[in-house]
A and B are shown apart, each in its own frame.
Chain A
Amino acid sequence: MNAIWSISKRELRNYFVSPIAYIILAVFFIICGLFGYIVYVAKAPYAQVIYIVSLMTNIFMFLSPMLTMRLLSEEKKQGTMELLYTSPLTITEIVLGKYLGAVLFFGVLFLISLEFPIFLLLYGKPDIPVMLVSLLGFALVGCTLISMGMFASSLAESQVVSAIIGFALVIVFWVMEFFSSAVSGSVGNWLATLSLSKHLESFSKGVLDGGDVFFFAAMSFMFVFLTIRRLDWKRW
Chain B
Amino acid sequence: MKKILEALKNFIKNRDLRFGLSAVFLTLATLCIIWFAGKLLSDSPLRLDLTENKIYSLSDQTKRVMKELKAEVKATAFVRKLGTEAKYIEYMLTEMGRNSKKFKFEIIDIDVDQVKWQKYMIGEANIVVFETGENPAEAQGAAQKDKKPAPYKRKDVKQQDIFQVDPYNPQKAEPKGEQAFINAVYSLTEDKQRVVYFSEGHKELSIGLADRNGLSELANYLKTENYYIKTVKIAAEGGVPEDCDLLVVAGPLNPFFDKEADAVKSYLRNGGRAVFMLNPDTCSGLEKTLEYWNIKLEKGVILDKRSFFQPVLPIPSYKIHPITSPLNKDQVPLILPYSRGISDIKAKLDPRVVSRDDLLVSSESSWAAAELKNGEKPSFKEGRDIKGPLALAVAVSEFVKTDPKKAPIDAEAKETQFVVVGSSFFISNQWLTQSRGNLDFFINSINWMLKQENKISIRPAADDLKRLEITPLRANIMFLAVVVLVPLAVISAGIFVWLKRRSK
B459-504 CB contacts (< 8 Å) to partner A: 465-470, 474-475, 478-479, 481-484, 486-487, 490-491, 493-494, 497-498, 501
Q: Mark A113-136, 1 if CB is under 8 A from B, else 0.
A: 001100110011111011011000
- 11 intermolecular pairs with C-beta atoms under 8 Å apart: A17-B501, A22-B490, A32-B482, A33-B484, A41-B479, A47-B466, A47-B468, A127-B52, A209-B41, A218-B30, A222-B30
Question: Interface-forming stretch among A70-78, A86-94, A199-207?
Answer: A199-207
Q: Is B352 at the interface (CB under 8 A from chain A)?
A: no
Instruction: Find out whether the CB atom of A112 lies under 8 angstroms from the CB atom of B486.
Output: yes
- Residue-by-residue, is B22-51 near A (CB-CB < 8 Å gives 1, otherwise 0)? 110011001101110111011010111111
Cβ-defined contact, B23 with A230, below 8 A: yes
- Hey, which bits of chain A sit against chain B, CB under 8 A? 16-17, 19, 21-23, 25-26, 29-30, 32-34, 36-37, 40-41, 45-48, 112, 115-116, 119-120, 123-127, 129-130, 132-133, 177-178, 180-185, 188-190, 193-194, 201-202, 205-211, 214-215, 218-219, 222, 225-226, 229-230, 233
Shortest A173–chain B CB gap in Å is 10
A125 touches B466 (CB 8 A): yes
Residues of B close to A194: CB separation below 8 A: 31, 34-35
> Does B81 lie at the interface of the complex (its beta carbon under 8 Å from any beta carbon of A)?
yes
A30 CA / B187 CA spacing, docked (Å): 55
> Number of B residues contacting the other chain (C-beta, 8 Å)?
57
Given contacts A124-B466, A126-B466, A194-B35, contact A34 B483 (CB under 8 A): yes
Main secondary structure on A side of the interface with B: helix
Q: Are B19 and A233 in contact (CB under 8 A)?
A: yes
Residue of B nearest to A219 (CB): B34
CB distance from A233 to the nearest CB of B (A): 5
Whether A30 pairs with B487 at a CB distance below 8 angstroms is yes
Whether A226 touches B23, Cβ cut-off 8 Å, given contacts A181-B81, A184-B109, A194-B31, is yes
| Bound CA span A32–B490, Å | 14
Chain A residue with Cβ nearest B44: A210
Give which listed residue, A46, A207, A208, contacts B468 with CB less than 8 A.
Answer: A46
Knowing A178-B82, A233-B19, the reply to whether A120 touches B37 (Cβ < 8 A) is no
Q: What is the CA–CA distance of A112 and B493 in the complex, to the nearest angstrom?
A: 14
| A122, chain B: closest CB distance, angstroms | 8
Within residues 96 to 140 of chain B, which ones have a CB less than 8 A from any CB in chain A? 107-109, 111-113
Interface centre among A33, A185, A202 (most CB of B within 10 A): A33
Residue B172 lies at the interface, judged by CB distance under 8 Å to chain A: no
Cβ of A192 to closest chain B Cβ, rounded Å: 8
Say whether B467 contacts A33, CB under 8 Å: no
9 smallest A-B Cβ distances: which pairs?
A210-B46, A22-B494, A129-B50, A211-B41, A33-B482, A181-B81, A124-B468, A222-B30, A33-B483
Q: Is B306's CB within 8 Å of the partner chain A?
A: no
Tell me which residues across on chain B come within 8 A of A126, comparing CB atoms: 466
Q: Which residues of A contact B47 (CB under 8 A)?
A: 207-211
Q: Which residue of B lies closest to A211 (CB)?
A: B41
B residues whose Cβ falls under 8 Å from a Cβ of A = 15, 19, 22-23, 26-27, 30-31, 33-35, 37-39, 41-42, 44, 46-52, 56, 81-82, 87, 107-109, 111-113, 465-470, 474-475, 478-479, 481-484, 486-487, 490-491, 493-494, 497-498, 501
Q: How far is the CB of A176 from chain B (nearest CB, A)?
A: 10
Closest Cβ of chain A: how far from B388's Cβ, in Å? 41
Q: Is the CB of A37 within 8 A of B52?
A: no
- CB of A197, distance to nearest CB on chain B (Å): 11
* Complex Cα gap A213–B22 (Å): 27
The chain A residue sitting closest to B47, CB to CB, is: A209
Min Cβ gap A140→B in Å is 14
A127 to chain B minimum Cβ distance, whole angstroms, is: 5
Q: Using CB atoms, name the residue of chain B closest to A189.
A: B107
Residues of chain B contacted by A188 (CB below 8 angstroms): 109, 112
Please give the distance in Å from B478's CB to the nearest CB on chain A.
6
Kindly report which residue of chain B lies nearest to residue A236, judged by CB atoms: B15
Residue of A nearest to B114 (CB): A184
Nearest CB in chain A: distance from B135 CB, A:
19
A206 touching B23, Cβ below 8 Å: no
The listed residue with most A CB atoms (<10 A of its CB), out of B15, B38, B111, is B38
Do B48 and A229 touch across chains, with their CB atoms under 8 A apart? no
- Complex contact A208–B490 (CB within 8 A): no
A127 CB contacts on chain B under 8 angstroms: 50-52, 466
Q: 20 extra interchain contacts, Cβ-Cβ under 8 A, other than A45-B467, A184-B112?
A: A19-B494, A19-B498, A26-B490, A26-B494, A33-B482, A33-B486, A41-B478, A41-B479, A47-B468, A119-B478, A123-B474, A123-B478, A130-B51, A133-B50, A193-B34, A194-B34, A194-B35, A207-B56, A210-B46, A211-B38
